[in-house]
Amino acid sequence: MNEKDKDFIENFKNYLSVEKNFSFHTLTAYCSDVISYLLWLNDEDCTKVDFNKLREYLYFIQRFEYKKTTIARKIASIRTFYKYLFREKYIENNPSISLSAPKRPKSLPKFLTSDEVEQILDNIKINTPSGFRNRTVIELLWATGMRVSELSNLNFGDLNLEENEIRVFGKGAKERIVLVSDRAKKYLIQYINTARKLVVAPEYSLAEPSDDSPVFINNTGYRLQNQTIRTVINEVVSRIELPKKVTPHVFRHSFATKLIEKGADLRVVQELLGHAGISNTQIYTHISMKHMQDVYNSAHPHS
């Protein structure tokens, strides 16, 4: 890859991080996709290609039999890259405007029943400060429907526990308010007052929290990472031999599904989840309907 392309990648990376506010995972994936594309072009100038050249690249990557979701992301990466080049006036015309992604297969999100969630919560050992922190984290995921990145990014200034509210910043730095159950609030207050300072190992010092201090920290006093939360969940699920793949996002799906089953207004659920459009939220009505059908088929004598 030549120096010009390297500069494009570095500037594109900054654009995704600063202006688009992409997560580290998405940023890394997009940059990797664009680097692969630039390497395929070899010495051809990426600012001189046309739509036919992009189609040629799509034919090339299809031979690797990627999943449709992967193909769709690679197309999105290239479209975003050329949108950036056009905005910065490196190109006069955007060749990727007509580039369309394959339709992604629609599948119902996986979710847990209330009993399964309680089984997981009850098997988190809370006899250590980090164990109590972990229980609090999972309680919040279940009670609020937050994304795991939103939870790990919480600062003290985001908490309004008197009103059972937490401010979160979702995709694209969009701000919203989520509600906290009394039980989750109880765990959170106890964690803040007792366990949080004890999580940190003795060799590390912990300053008094300010509005910008992370709520959830690791044993060195730094912000708790998403992967740590995933590891905690995996360990508990494996220990209790729950026959489901459980990720932090499954708690978000479970939260939304339970609200819909209990008759919550779709617009309210959309607001709590931070969905940009109602179509993203409507899928939970299908989950609820499928659940009702399963109950009907197992309980009705003539089903």
Tens of pLDDT along 265-295?
888 888 888 887 777 777 777 666 665 566 5
Active site residue 171: yes
159-160 sheet: strands from edge to edge: 159-160, 165-169, 175-179
Q: Evaluate if pTM is beyond 0.75.
A: no
The answer to whether residue 169 scores a pLDDT higher than 80 is yes
Model confidence at 122, in pLDDT bands (50, 70, 90)?
very high
Other Cβ atoms less than 10 A from the Cβ of 186: the count is: 14
Write down the catalytic residue from 147, 196, 253, 258: 147
- Cβ neighbours of 194 (radius 10 Å): 11
Judge whether 249 counts as a catalytic residue.
yes
- What are phi and psi for residue 63, nearest 5 degrees? -70, -15
User: Which among 13, 110, 223, 249 is annotated as catalytic?
Assistant: 249
Is 275 annotated as catalytic? yes
**% of residues, the chain, pLDDT over 70:** 91
For residue 99, name the pLDDT band (cuts at 50, 70, 90): confident
- Catalytic-role residue among 171, 176, 197, 223: 171
- Average pLDDT on 184-204 reads 95
What pLDDT, on the 0 to 100 scale, is given for residue 107?
65
Catalytic one of 135, 252, 253, 258: 252
